[in-house]
Structure 1
């Protein structure tokens, strides 16, 4: 981990370009030091293929369960844990319900019916940007040497594209003041969830990894030795 001051700034400044005219417009960032010709070509490619990007949770196709599904390896001799509902202040409750409504709307969670396992919601503040994890960063940097064009991508809610096995969904039950819910899609935070997602990505891109792209969990780099 590096503090923000130790990490330093980006190698080059980035600028936003419009790839889809909507309200609000859909934007991506490209290098500001690219030539005008290169910028124009790159922007046209991004505009022509803007439908390849997920701009919202509703646009995310899930991964077929035959390709990847998450299972919880729970010892059957363990007694299920049922936590009593924790009470939050009105502002927190409103934030929780807003998130629950969003997850219900996009199909990541559902109402739970059989409450053998019950956990409380844990509110976690968003990253304040002060620290940056640097896993395998030396390998990723070395792998880009000699390439003229690099594209950096962050998978959009990647974990939530993997289905929970039906028999394990209600082991993820959580309770709010509006009801009891469970996850239909793999949430962030479950044991080995990161490894499950990483295996999936390695399987999907096995022909490209090491040749035209590098991957670490949900961060991806595509690389090319020519602008074309």
Structure 2
């Protein structure tokens, strides 16, 4: 993995990054570190949705290249719709920052570092951009809702 410098960013983008970093710090999803001794870091990336809202991700492409894929199955939309068609009630849940609700192993934290104009931070919760985050999240949801899934 490479240690990368900060991506160049406009003043507007830097302000948006600051907003997200401060929010993640407040929720204890990341922590600031004062040094980076021979540990890989990457840069944050803002993803802007069609409604103008942004999500902070990180460019973990190099880490993802070295990560063994978790082949846990993600439900297919047609299969989910087929099950929904038979449902008496339908409930919608929004798992706010769903991946961030999952912790990471202490020895993995050093691989989840980002650098920006505000300094160096490391994720203490699962960040967006990690190759196996969707499979890990799905496994947890399947475990929590096992009875409901089996009942159909």
Higher relative contact order by CA 8 Å / sep ≥ 6: 1 or 2?
2
Unpaired runs of at least 5, structure 2: 53-74
Instruction: Tell me if 1:169 matches 2:109.
Output: yes
More divergent stretch after superposition (94-103 vs 148-157): 148-157
Match of 1:124 in 2: 47
In the comparison of the two structures, how many residue pairs are matched? 128
Match of 1:210 in 2: 150
Q: Distance in 2 between matches of 1:150 and 1:86?
A: 43
> Higher helix share goes to which structure?
2
Listed as ranges, the matches of 1:191-206 within 5 Å are 191-206=131-146
Listed as ranges, the matches of 1:151-166 within 5 Å are 151-166=91-106
Q: 1:136 to 1:127 in 2, by over 3 A?
A: farther
Asked if the contact 1:112–1:170 (Cα under 8 Å) also holds between the matched residues in 2, the reply is: no
Unpaired runs of at least 5, structure 1: 1-79, 130-134, 213-228
Asked if the contact 1:112–1:181 (Cα under 8 Å) also holds between the matched residues in 2, the reply is: yes
RMSD: 2.0
Listed as ranges, the matches of 1:1-228 within 5 Å are 80-115=1-36, 116-127=39-50, 136-211=76-151
**Per-residue CA distance 1:164-184 (angstroms, 9 max, x = gap):** 111111211111111100100
TM-score of the pair, normalised by structure 2:
0.75
TM-score of the pair, normalised by structure 1:
0.51
Which of structures 1 and 2 has the bigger CA Rg?
Answer: 1
